[in-house]
Amino acid sequence: MKELGQLKHFLGIELSYSQEGIFLHQQKYFRDLLKNFGMLKCKTILMPIEPNSKICTHEGKDLEDAAMYQQLVGSLIYLTLTRSDISFAVGYGIMYKRGEDCTVVGYCDADYVGNHDTRRSTIGYVFMLGSGEISWCNKRQPTVSLSTTEVEYRAAALYHRLA
């Protein structure tokens, strides 16, 4: 192991140290993002999305390269780590992508006495947006259930709280 000094850059996040504290930013990541998608010379705006804007799924053109769109969306979501002011605009834009179903679907399930040592069951859920998973969990129930019905009821109650 080596001592490399103060951390300056990690996973696309840059750290700046000052008297007030440590500041996180992604200027280089954002500049590289603009460069990769051919938008280095784009105009700047004060607000990331126009107030009361409406987007319709039948407007615009179909995507030629879905992989490029997915890379852009993933990069923008990662950029929201330090730029929470664009979170709403990124989420709003993702909801109305062309050419793919944008409904949210959730599934939950449980096993009865999944762990024979503790007699506790395992529950799990997954939420999907279109064909991609956006949230999932798999964990042991905190209490011992006495029937398969009780296990499924607890899993459904957990799913209902999260939906």
Lowest mean per-residue pLDDT among 53-57, 88-92, 122-126, 135-139 = 53-57
Shared-domain flag, residues 122 and 143: yes
Domain count, the chain: 2
CA neighbor of 12 nearest in space, from 86, 75, 73: 75
Give me 123's structure tokens.
């529950």
- End residue of a domain, out of 39, 61, 95: 95
pTM of the model as a whole? 0.49
95-107 pLDDT, tens digit each: 655 445 567 788 8
- DSSP bridge pairs for 123: 110, 139
Identify the band that residue 56 occupies on the pLDDT scale cut at 50, 70 and 90: low
143-155 pLDDT, tens digit each: 788 787 887 777 7
Domain of residue 65 covers: 31-95
